[in-house]
Structure 1
């Protein structure tokens, strides 16, 4: 689960900040900040669903801004997927929306 969450965060930040012709954003990039596997691992072990949703939500907000917000074609779908993740009420329910987000972000990149 930690790797999946980290990947969603990484793809979101790549979409928001990575520009053509510059070095790619990698997992150990300082830009990742609190969105690395260790942080997500701690949140998962604690069962801190709200903390996970907050960290992923922060990254997704940046990605939404990069695609033109929820009024753009890409932003509408990303916004819907972000809402699906935010609506989860259990740790077990987190997996499916995170997989959908990862897949969508990978396709957009």
Structure 2
């Protein structure tokens, strides 16, 4: 799960900050500091669903702005997916909406 959480953060930050004339954002870049796998690993070990949702929400919020917000087609779907992720209340239910969110962010890169 930690890998998927980090991947969602990476894809979100790529949408928000990466430009064509710049080198790509990588997992070890400074912008990923608060969203690296070990940060998510700690939250997962603690069972901190709310903490995970906050971290993912920060990144996806930036991606949502980058695609034009929820009024645009890409943003509407991204908003729906992050809403499903935010609605989960127990760790065991995070996987399905997390994978859907990760796959969508990958597709719109």
TM-score bracket, shorter-length normalisation: over 0.9
- Report the secondary structure of 1:34's partner residue: helix
Partner in structure 2 of residue 3 of structure 1 = 3
**Deviation at residue 32 of structure 1 after TM alignment:** 0.9
Partner Cα distance (1:77, 1:103) in 2: 12
Partner in structure 1 of residue 99 of structure 2 = 99
- Report the secondary structure of 2:98's partner residue: helix
**1:3-42 mapped onto 2 (5 Å cutoff):** 3-42=3-42
Partner Cα distance (1:98, 1:21) in 2: 30
Partner in structure 2 of residue 43 of structure 1 = 43
TM-score by length of 1: 0.99
Deviations 1:41-63 (A, max 9, x none): 00000000000000000000000
Deviations 1:5-45 (A, max 9, x none): 00000000000000002110000000012100000000000
User: Unaligned regions of 5+ residues in structure 2, if any?
Assistant: none
TM-score by length of 2: 0.99
- Report the secondary structure of 1:33's partner residue: helix
What is the CA RMSD across the aligned residues, in angstroms? 0.5
Q: Give the count of matched residue pairs.
A: 109
Q: Which runs of 4+ in 1 moved over 4 A?
A: none
**Deviation at residue 68 of structure 1 after TM alignment:** 0.2
